[in-house]
Chains A and B, each alone.
Chain A
Amino acid sequence: MSAPVAEISPTKTPAPPSRERAGVAFAPPGKWGDRLFLGVTFSFSAGIILLAAGIGFSLWSNSALARKAFGFRFLIDQVWDPVAGNFGALTFLFGTLLTSFLALLIAVPLGVGAALFLSELAPRRISDLLAFLTELLAAVPSVIYGLLGIFVLVPLVRRFLEPVLGKTLGFLPFFRGPQYGIGFLAAGLVLSIMVIPFIISVSREILLSVPPLLREAALALGATRWEVATTVALPYARSGIMGAIFLALARALGETMAVTMVIGNTPILTASLFSPGYTMASVLANEFSEASGDLYLHALVEIALVLFAVTLIINAGAQLLVWGVQRKKR
Chain B
Amino acid sequence: MSPRHIPIDLGNYHRRKTWNRVAFFLTAVCATLVLSSLFFILGYLWVNGISSVNWNFFTKLPKPVGEAGGGMANALVGSAELLALAAVFGLPVGVLAGVYLSEFGRNRFGDLVRYMTDILNGVPSIVIGIFAYALFVLPMKRFSALSGGAALGIMMIPITVRTTEEFLKLVPDSVREASYALGVPRWKTVLFIILPTAQRGILTGILLAFARVAGETAPLLFTAFGNRYWGRSLLAPVSSLPVMIYTYAVSPYEDWHRQAWAAGLVLLTWVFLLGLLARTVLRKPASA
- Evaluate whether A148 and B41 lie within 8 angstroms (CB atoms) in the complex, with A224-B16, A253-B124, A288-B221 already known: yes
Option from A45, A135, A281 in Cβ contact (under 8 Å) with B126: A281
- Asked if A83 is an interface residue, CB under 8 A from chain B, the answer is no
Task: Please choose the segment from B52-60, B62-70, B173-181, B196-204 that sits at the chain A interface, where 4 or more of its residues have CB less than 8 A away.
Answer: B173-181
Contact present for A41 and B157 (CB under 8 Å)? no
Q: Which residues of A contact B87 (CB under 8 A)?
A: none
Option from A223, A231, A257, A288 in Cβ contact (under 8 Å) with B130: A288
Shortest B175–chain A CB gap in Å is: 10
Q: Which residues of B contact A23 (CB under 8 A)?
A: 176, 180, 186
Size range of the chain B interface in the assembly: 35 or more
- Asked if B185 is an interface residue, CB under 8 A from chain A, the answer is yes
Contact present for A7 and B107 (CB under 8 Å)? yes
Q: Which residues of A contact B255 (CB under 8 A)?
A: none
Q: Which residues of B contact A142 (CB under 8 A)?
A: 215-218
- Asked if A161 is an interface residue, CB under 8 A from chain B, the answer is no
Shortest B94–chain A CB gap in Å is: 9
Shortest A48–chain B CB gap in Å is: 5
Option from B7, B214, B250 in Cβ contact (under 8 Å) with A261: B250
Q: Which residues of B contact A31 (CB under 8 A)?
A: 185
Q: Which residues of A contact B268 (CB under 8 A)?
A: 140-141, 144
Q: Which residues of B contact A41 (CB under 8 A)?
A: 96-97, 99-100, 103-104
- Asked if A27 is an interface residue, CB under 8 A from chain B, the answer is yes
Option from A40, A250, A308 in Cβ contact (under 8 Å) with B96: A40
Contact present for B101 and A45 (CB under 8 Å)? yes
| Tally of A-B Cβ pairs under 8 angstroms | 304
Contact present for B100 and A45 (CB under 8 Å)? yes
Contact with A along B260-273 (1 / 0, CB 8 A): 11001001100110
Contact present for B24 and A254 (CB under 8 Å)? no
Q: Which residues of B contact A22 (CB under 8 A)?
A: 176-177, 180-181
Contact present for A19 and B180 (CB under 8 Å)? yes
Contact present for A27 and B92 (CB under 8 Å)? no
- Asked if B33 is an interface residue, CB under 8 A from chain A, the answer is yes
Contact with A along B1-26 (1 / 0, CB 8 A): 00000111010000011011001101
Contact present for B126 and A224 (CB under 8 Å)? no
- Asked if A216 is an interface residue, CB under 8 A from chain B, the answer is no
Contact present for B264 and A137 (CB under 8 Å)? no
Contact present for B130 and A34 (CB under 8 Å)? no
- B residues 82-115 touching A (CB-CB < 8 Å): 92-93, 96-97, 99-101, 103-107, 109-110, 112-113, 115
| Closest Cβ neighbor of A194 among chain B residues | B37
Task: Give the CA-CA distance A308 to B130 in the complex, in Å.
Answer: 11
Q: Which residues of A contact B127 (CB under 8 A)?
A: 55, 59, 254, 304, 307-308, 311
- Evaluate whether A135 and B275 lie within 8 angstroms (CB atoms) in the complex, with A114-B30, A117-B28, A143-B217 already known: yes
Q: Which residues of B contact A19 (CB under 8 A)?
A: 173, 176-177, 180
Contact with B along A278-304 (1 / 0, CB 8 A): 000100110011000000000011001
Spell out B's residues near A (CB within 8 Å). Answer: 6-8, 10, 16-17, 19-20, 23-24, 26-31, 33-35, 37-38, 40-41, 44-45, 48, 92-93, 96-97, 99-101, 103-107, 109-110, 112-113, 115-120, 122-128, 130-131, 133-135, 138, 143, 154, 157, 161, 173, 176-177, 180-181, 183-188, 190-191, 211-212, 214-218, 221-222, 225, 242, 245-246, 249-250, 257, 260-261, 264, 267-268, 271-272, 275, 279
Q: Name the 6 nearest CB pairs between A and B, nearest first.
A: A30-B185, A141-B215, A254-B124, A113-B30, A37-B187, A41-B100
Sample of 19 further A-B pairs with CB below 8 A, known A118-B31, A136-B38, A143-B242: A22-B181, A30-B185, A33-B185, A48-B93, A52-B120, A55-B128, A59-B127, A121-B28, A137-B41, A139-B271, A140-B268, A141-B271, A144-B41, A144-B268, A146-B246, A148-B40, A254-B125, A288-B222, A311-B127
A and B contact pairs by CB, cutoff 8 A, 8 listed: A22-B176, A45-B101, A55-B131, A113-B26, A136-B38, A139-B272, A143-B215, A200-B34
